[in-house]
Amino acid sequence: MSDVKIRRALLSVSDKTGLVELGQALAARGVELVSTGGTAKALRDAGLAVKDVSELTGFPEMMDGRVKTLHPTVHGGLLAVRDNPQHAAAMESHGIGAIDLVVVNLYPFEATVAKGADRDTIIENIDIGGPSMVRSAAKNHQFVAIVTDPADYAGLLAELAQTDGATTLAFRRLLAAKAFAATAAYDSMIGQWFAYADQGQKFPPMVSMTRKLAGTLRYGENPHQDAALYLPAGPHAKGLPQAQQVQGKALSYNNYNDANAALELAAEFAGQQPAVIIVKHANPCGVAQADTLLKAWQGALSCDDVSAFGGIVATNVPLDGPTAEAICQIFTEVVVAPGADDAARAAFARKKNLRLLITDGLPDPRRPGQTLAIIAGGILVQDRDSGAIEEADLRVVTKRAPSPQEMKDCLFAWTVARHVKSNAIVYARDGITAGIGAGQMNRRDSSRIAAMKAAEAADKHGWEQSRAVGSAVASDAFFPFADGLLAAAQAGATAVIQPGGSIRDDEVIAAADAAGLAMVFTGMRHFRH
């Protein structure tokens, strides 16, 4: 059997969107409507003839509606293999009628949790009969169509129109796949709530995480790799996927990855002076704060305008016209901001391929959560790096303490360094990064690369000296030897901020004292692999 004529439909939905229209369309085709509770009432109120499930089962709904569809008459009508003589005989013997279509969506468990309901209410919103009917119908998709999403009502009616009131096997297979995914996602959310919220387990013995497909991407990191964007099914922070894309081509895998790195760093400066972040290959290549956004852009760009070409720009405040005009002077892939005025939008509109994304605020950089990394044979799970330090947390370990400006530069450089790939070294002065060394296999080379970039910027712009002179230098992890610190001193840094904790801390502190450096320990490192 391939096409199955729809003669009887069972409808039981929490989300009543489109229900009446669907019921009317089915009734117009002579389909018998069977329903429960509020769904039956909504259909009757629309003037439709509806048979209660209790009429099929001979049992009333009981136990506050907990028991109504869990009955052989219902599940026999769903699970019977209709071309199996024994199944057909059992149906005849027990008065079980076939059910050709099931329309079910489940109790709003996720929404109930999201609104902060008490535990008893949350438990009551765990659907039992609904998933059972969905799974029965989906298992027997050879004969039964199962619809779990109101968004599929139009597709169902189009199918019935094309096949004279029947469904094809191909269509039922598609619905079954979606149905099993729906029940799996539903159970996953329940399991996560019990493990994380109810039991307080950080790493439960078993966990499944639900993701919804937002769309496929042009390709992955490279053209021979396919890629897609998925969104968490439950509560989650807002970021790029929720942003408004004002203009430009669709975002690629690399665009999302790089723009997210820029947005996460911009979020560190929420509520502060205007800040501009320029990112290339997920690493900041220029960061600056100033009293105007245009000055911040100029400062960030001057750090490394070579790397900025084809990069990603993010800001912590809405974009204005002058800053947008300046950004348009170089090739930029993506600009992300929590707003843009008319002048800024007009400036970017002249760059048709530039992607402009407007976010709904900035994500909380201290939000809780976990991150995943897939390895061969497993998945690594860890807490998000939401750790942070303030000036009061710092410990001065050298004879000379940082001046107020050096301390300010230390904290700025440290904020940037936590978003740079390890080994990370960041020079900063007066709220502007002077040089950034990222992703090296040893800290000394990162120090030298950062100093080299600072020197190159000075040569290019005709400055009297490198901005690394008089700067603060941040290291994302401790200096295992004094060589990395001495490289920073040779570049002109006068203050150092680092976690400390090396067995050679005394040697490094002594080298800092000998060089006249002020150094503070954070007691916290920020590796980013």
**Strands (E) located in 438-491:** 472-475
Nearest to 407 by CA among 394, 426, 421, 397: 394
Give dist(CA 327, CA 325) in Å, integer.
6
DSSP string, 494-514: -EEEE----TTHHHHHHHHHH
Known active-site residue 460:
no
> Strand, helix or coil at 24?
helix
**Please, which contacts does 454-461 make with residues 24 or more away whose CB atoms are closer than 8 Å?**
454/303, 454/427, 454/491, 455/491, 457/302, 457/303, 457/304, 457/305, 460/305, 461/302
Query: Which among 224, 266, 100 has a CA at the least distance from the CA of 167?
Result: 100
Match 């009131």 to its residue by tokens.
165
Among the listed residues 5, 51, 87, 281, the single catalytic one is: 281
Distance of CA 280 to the CA centre of its chain: 20
* Catalytic site includes residue 75: no
Count of other CB atoms within 10 angstroms of residue 508: 25
Angle between helix 293-303 and helix 443-461 axes, rounded to 10 deg: 120
Catalytic residue among 139, 178, 249, 351: 139
Question: Amino acid letter at 396?
Answer: V
CA dihedral 336, 342, 343, 344 (to 10 degrees): 0
Is the sign of the CA dihedral 365, 367, 368, 374 positive or negative?
A: negative
Report the SS3 class of residue 183. Answer: helix
- Measured distance between the N- and C-terminal CA atoms of the chain, rounded to whole angstroms: 55
DSSP strands (E only) in 328-460 = 332-337, 355-358, 370-375, 378-383, 395-396, 425-429, 432-437
The tokens of 452 are what?
């080299």
Q: How many CB atoms lie within 10 A of CB 128?
A: 13
Helix (H, G, I), strand (E, B) or coil at 331: coil
**Catalytic residue IDs:** 139, 281
